[in-house]
């Protein structure tokens, strides 16, 4: 893998939690304004050395790795296992399409390899559409994502829940709480074990701030309704905020205060580089081309005792997942 510029360490120590070693602050990094058309990485990814202490966070990709061939779901699980990665998020973003025999093979492989499987639902979900037929179709897409994931032996069906569309935030929140609670109830009634994990979103026009989703998970009181915490989206939604150790610590404290310590014990995390503007998220970037302060994020996750899955959605996929895994292991004692 070709060498890339390393992001300088930067952090502001804060409470809670307190960093074991306060990193030096660095000047803000300029984020590329335009989306790159060419690949940043070529060749074969370098596999990281096995950790000296067990990983509490597992890393993987949102989508089939670039170096997998053929590019299908079973091959993706095999390839991630070969690379020493531990998470595969199936991307159903253009529709939930997977053959029954593929589900069976993914299920077998995830049991054999230990690679944990999650899924991302279609982009065309809006549970607060002004058109009822679109709401009905959105419900079906969430349910189909969870059902397909269950057949694959995975857990954690994430998706973007919808848009405000000029309506008041409380009106949208109340509707979303009803819709998501009903979806969780429907899955439980049919015996589907998958947790529904709506995702924090990257634009102010989208429902899905961390405040809204932690409040919803607490008030809905459904054991199979959680959150996908996309730290890159939170950073972009704020126009470049929430990117220091202290801020990450406060976000994690909010999750623990509202949803309990157990919510930090099986986290569904998304992380990538990200470009943003006045309206929030623009597009994903490779991690070291962005200003995403992932080292301070890992410090906060480690110090708060967090466990779970970290799905990398950057253009580099497995290349960046390995960069993130390496940084996490260095900070976690190897």
Phi, then psi, of 49 in degrees rounded to 5: -65, 150
Q: Which domain holds residue 164?
A: 61-331
Task: Name residue, tokens 């502001």.
Answer: 12
Phi, then psi, of 145 in degrees rounded to 5: -60, -45
Task: Let me know if residue 86 belongs to a domain.
Answer: yes
- Where are the extended beta strands (E) located within the chain? 57-62, 87-91, 116-120, 157-159, 162-163, 196-198, 206-207, 228-230, 267-271, 273-277, 280-285, 308-312
Task: Let me know if residue 143 belongs to a domain.
Answer: yes
C-alpha R_g of the chain: 19
Q: For the domain that residue 244 is a member of, what is the CATH number? A: 3.20.20.150
What string of pLDDT tens digits covers the 334 residues of the chain?
Answer: 444 444 444 444 444 555 544 455 444 566 666 677 667 898 899 999 999 999 999 999 999 999 999 999 999 999 999 999 999 999 999 999 999 999 999 999 999 999 999 999 999 999 999 999 999 999 999 999 999 999 999 999 999 999 999 999 999 999 999 999 999 999 999 999 999 999 999 999 999 999 999 999 999 999 999 999 999 999 999 999 999 999 999 999 999 999 999 999 999 999 999 999 999 999 999 999 999 999 999 999 999 999 999 999 999 999 999 999 999 999 999 7
Task: Let me know if residue 56 belongs to a domain.
Answer: no
Give, rounded to a whole angstrom, the gap between the first and last alpha carbons of the chain: 21
Query: How many structural domains are present in the chain?
Result: 1
State how far the Cα of 241 lies from the Cα of 28, in Å rounded to an integer.
Answer: 11
Task: Let me know if residue 322 belongs to a domain.
Answer: yes
Task: Let me know if residue 154 belongs to a domain.
Answer: yes
Report the b/e string of 152-169 with b at 16+ CB within 10 A: bbbbbbbbbbbbeeeeee
Task: Let me know if residue 107 belongs to a domain.
Answer: yes
Which residues face 58 on adjacent strands? 309
| Nearest Cα to Cα of residue 153 among 106, 191, 92, 223 | 106
Q: Kindly give, in sequence order, each residue whose CB lies less than 8 Å from that of residue 170, ignoring residues fewer than 6 positions away.
A: none
Task: Let me know if residue 126 belongs to a domain.
Answer: yes
Task: Let me know if residue 217 belongs to a domain.
Answer: yes
pTM of the predicted structure, to 2 decimals: 0.90
């Amino acid at each position: 893998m070709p060498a890339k510029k390393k992001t300088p360490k930067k952090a502001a120590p804060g409470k809670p939690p307190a960093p074991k070693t306060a990193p030096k602050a660095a000047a803000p990094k300029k984020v590329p304004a335009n989306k790159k058309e060419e690949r940043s990485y070529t060749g074969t990814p370098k596999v990281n050395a096995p950790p000296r202490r067990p990983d509490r966070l597992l890393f993987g990709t949102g989508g089939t790795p670039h170096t997998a061939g053929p590019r299908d779901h079973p091959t993706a699980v095999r390839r991630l296992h070969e690379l020493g990665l531990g998470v595969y998020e199936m991307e159903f973003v253009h529709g939930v399409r997977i053959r029954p025999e593929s589900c069976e093979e993914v299920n077998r492989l995830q049991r054999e390899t230990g690679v944990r499987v999650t899924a991302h639902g279609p982009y065309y979900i809006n549970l607060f559409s002004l058109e009822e037929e679109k709401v009905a179709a959105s419900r079906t897409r969430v349910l189909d994502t969870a059902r397909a994931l269950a057949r694959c032996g995975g857990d954690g069906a994430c998706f973007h829940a919808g848009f405000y569309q000029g309506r008041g935030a409380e009106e949208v929140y109340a509707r979303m709480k009803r819709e998501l609670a009903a979806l969780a109830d429907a899955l439980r009634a049919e015996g589907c074990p998958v947790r529904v994990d709506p995702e924090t979103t990257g634009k102010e026009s989208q429902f899905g701030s961390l405040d809204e989703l932690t409040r919803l998970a607490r008030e809905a009181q459904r054991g199979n309704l959680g959150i996908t915490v996309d730290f890159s989206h939170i950073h972009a939604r704020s126009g470049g905020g929430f990117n220091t150790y202290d801020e990450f610590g406060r976000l994690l404290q909010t999750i623990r205060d509202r949803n309990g310590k157990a919510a930090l014990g099986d986290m569904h995390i998304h992380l990538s580089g990200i470009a943003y503007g006045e309206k929030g998220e623009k597009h994903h970037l490779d991690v070291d081309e962005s200003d995403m302060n992932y080292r301070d994020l890992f410090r906060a996750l480690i110090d708060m005792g967090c466990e779970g899955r970290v799905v990398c959605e950057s253009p580099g996929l497995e290349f960046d997942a390995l960069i993130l895994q390496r940084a996490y292991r260095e900070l976690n004692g190897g």
